[in-house]
Structure 1
Amino acid sequence: MATLSIKGVRKSFGALEVLKNIDLELDDGGFLVLLGPSGCGKSTLLSIIAGLEPSSGGDVVIGGRNVNDVHPKDRNIAMVFQSYALYPTMSVKRNIGFGLEMRKVKQTDREAAVQRAAELLQIGHLLERKPGQLSGGQRQRVAMGRAIVRDPELFLFDEPLSNLDAKLRVEMRTEIKRLHDRLGTSVVYVTHDQVEAMTLGTKVAVMREGVIQQIADPQTIYERPANMFVAGFIGSPTMNFLGGTLERVGDTFALMHGDGALPLNGLVQDVAGFVGRKVVAGIRPESLSAGEGVATLNGMVEVVEPTGPDTMVLVNVGGQLISARLGSRDRPGLGQPLSVAVDTSAVNLFDTETGMRI
């Protein structure tokens, strides 16, 4: 196991700057997820950690050792790719052990390592098959087995589940989490899937256009996003943004929006300095419930989507669309008026000008 420290890492391709002064730390045995939309630089950063791509500046330190000038094969890391990258003419057994074979590891030690990895991943019965005879999930297990046998200090995963169907993604996500719990090896995992990030990571770094927007544990990122980009990227359906003016009402505050006012009695932020200014209230769909409460939004129903356990409803509140996650039995009619109670303790306020959380 090893710590990972990235200090001031930059990367440019000609005039295009794709990574801008990246700083992050991963504790020994931690699970760091690099999360962001396509083109944000997360895979480039992973390639720099692996040594597959040189940086334009900054330092990469693995286990206390600066590896800027260390060849990838000497960094004691293992990488699992999106495309599996298996040798089609080799058996599963040889695919898993081929790296050890190239390192001149003794055959007995190699076979023992392959057997341990196969048992851990429950693919012992597949060792004599070729990759073409395997399902996508089985191929991914083989790719993971090839990484495990190296006993690396650091695992790197580059969107390993993106080629799998939805059900298999859930199963493999569980397998990766169990694998990390058993091995305790530090992991850096790249994905654009926020569910993977929230369920797997002990720490999540949300990236946008080569800049880390926020680094924190998943719950902090979900409940206290650093800015509107993070707030909107995390969560499905996405967070609602309700614009208005912040006003003081007695001992508390209220958001004046359109023809209405949203009391903010349970607000946990210090927002006194923004009274009289334009702000945006971030409200998660699950923070809304059918009926009136201390804080209520009133509007007209535009869309109703039953999903089984929940009913997703899109409500027009003074010209602003608000998504609410209601109970399965709460199914208002289209075009009908609807009142939804707001859990104001879960509301986040953002500065309209900067987009940052107040």
Structure 2
Amino acid sequence: MATLSINSIRKSFGTVEVLNNIDIEVEDGGFLVLLGPSGCGKSTLLSIIAGLENSSGGDILIGDRNVNDVHPKDRNIAMVFQSYALYPTMPVRRNIGFGLEMRKVDAREREAAVQRAAELLQIEHLLDRKPGQLSGGQRQRVAMGRAIVRNPDLFLFDEPLSNLDAKLRVEMRTEIKRLHDRLGTTTVYVTHDQVEALTLGTKVAVMKGGVIQQLADPETIYDRPANMFVAGFIGSPTMNFLSGMLEQGDGGLVLRHSAGALALGGLQQDVGAFVGREVTAGIRPETLDVGQGAAGLAGVVDVVEPTGPDTMVIVSVGGQLITARLGPKARPKPGDTLNLSVDTAAINLFDPTTGNRI
């Protein structure tokens, strides 16, 4: 195991800059998730860490060793890709151990390593099958087993669950989490799926346009997003944004919006400098509920979406659409007027000019 230091990494393809001064420190045994939309630079950064791509500037350190000029095979890393990249003519046993075979590891030592990995991943019964006889989830386990037997300093995952169906993604996500808990190997994981990021990572780097928008633990990313991009990217349904004027009322701060006023008595931010200015309130759907409260929003129901455990209700508040995550038995009808109470302690206020959290 080892720490990972990413220091001022830059990458350009001609005049196109895809990474701009990336700085990240990952502790020994940490799990870093690189999260962002397609084209944000996350896979390029992973390739630079792996040595598959050269940077235009900056340094990569694995432990105390600068690996800028070290060949990928000498970095003691193991990668798991979106495509399983298994040898179709080899049985699972040899697929897992082939890297060790190429390194001329003794056959008995190699077989013991394969057996340990297979037991860890619960695929001992598949060792004599070929990849064509396996399901997608089983193939991904084999790919992970091939990485495990190398006993690397660093695991690198490049969107490993993208080819799986929804149920298998959940199962494999749990498997990866369990694997990390048992092995404790420093891990870098690339995904565009914010659920994977929040459930797996000890640290999440949200990226956009080759720039890290926020680097923090999952709880901070979710509860205190650094800007409106992070706030809107994280969460399903996404965070609501309500624009209005921040005013000082008799009972405290108030957000004067297009359909009335929202009392901000429980607000956790120091926003005094923004009184009298336009702000944007970020409100998570689960912090809204039906009821009469000191802080509330009234609007007209636009769409109702039952999902089983929840009912998503989209409400028009003065022309601004707000989504509320309500209980499964809530069944308002389109056209109904709905009063929503708001947990103001969970509200985030943003500067609409910069998009940054105030």
**For the superposition of Structure 1 and Structure 2, which TM-score range results when normalised by the shorter chain?**
over 0.9
Identical amino acids, percent of aligned pairs: 78
Q: What is the aligned partner in structure 2 of residue 142 from structure 1?
A: 142
Q: In the alignment, which residue of structure 1 is the partner of 2:301?
A: 301
How far apart, CA to CA, are the structure 2 residues paired with 1:357 and 1:124? 50
The C-alpha deviation readout for 1:142-195, integer Å capped at 9, x for no partner, is 000000000000000000000000000000000000000000000000000000
Structure 2 distance, partners of 1:27, 1:87, is: 34
Q: Quote the Cα distance in structure 1 between the aligned partners of 2:131 and 2:329.
A: 47
- Give the distance between the partners of 2:292 and 2:153, measured in 1 at CA: 54
Matched, 1:353 2:353: yes
Answer with 315-324 or 303-312: which moved more. 303-312
| Structure 1 position 259, deviation (Å) | 3.5
Once the 2 structures are TM-superposed, how far is the Cα of residue 64 of structure 1 from its aligned partner? 1.3
Please report how far the alpha carbon of residue 250 of structure 1 lies from its aligned counterpart in structure 2 after TM superposition: 3.1
Q: Which runs of 5+ in 1 are unaligned?
A: none
Partner of 2:162: 162
Q: Contact 2:259–2:317 at 8 Å: present in 1 too?
A: no
AA of the residue aligned to 2:350: F
Paired position in structure 2 for 1:81: 81
Per-residue CA distance 1:174-230 (angstroms, 9 max, x = gap): 000000000000000000000000000000000001000000000000000000000
Counterpart in the other structure of 1:42: 42
Q: Distance in 2 between matches of 1:2 and 1:259?
A: 55
**How many Å separate the matches in 2 of 1:232 and 1:12?**
27
Deviates more, 1:303-312 or 1:147-156: 303-312
CA-to-aligned-CA distance 1:90-122 (integer Å, 9 cap, x gap): 111111000001111111110110000001001
Structure 2 counterpart of 1:279:
279
Q: Distance in 2 between matches of 1:200 and 1:292?
A: 37
Deviations along 1:2-42, whole A, 9 cap, x unmatched?
10000100001111110011000100000000000011000
Deviations, residues 298-346 of structure 1 (Å, cap 9, x unaligned): 0000000111111100000001000000111111111111110000000
Other-structure match for 1:13: 13
For residues 126-275 of structure 1, what are the structure 2 equivalents within 5 Å?
126-250=126-250, 252-275=252-275
TM-score by length of 2: 0.99
- Paired with 1:182 and 1:25, the residues of 2 have a C-alpha distance of 22
Q: CA deviation at 1:251?
A: 5.5
Aligned mates of 1:153, 1:252 — CA distance in 2: 53
Counterpart residue number, 1:316: 316
Provide the C-alpha distance between the structure 2 equivalents of 1:180 and 1:256, rounded to a whole number of angstroms.
Answer: 48
How do residues 64-103 of structure 1 correspond to structure 2 at under 5 angstroms?
Answer: 64-103=64-103
TM-score by length of 1: 0.99
Q: Distance in 1 between matches of 2:124 and 2:175?
A: 16
Structure 1 residue 291: Cα displacement: 1.5
What is the deviation of 1:273?
0.2
CA drift of 1:252 comes to 2.1
Count residues in correspondence. 358
1:280 match: secondary structure: strand
- After superposition, the CA RMSD in angstroms is 0.6
Moved over 2 A (4+): none
Question: For 2:258 and 2:118, how far apart are their aligned partners in 1?
Answer: 61
Corresponding letter in the other structure for 2:246: L
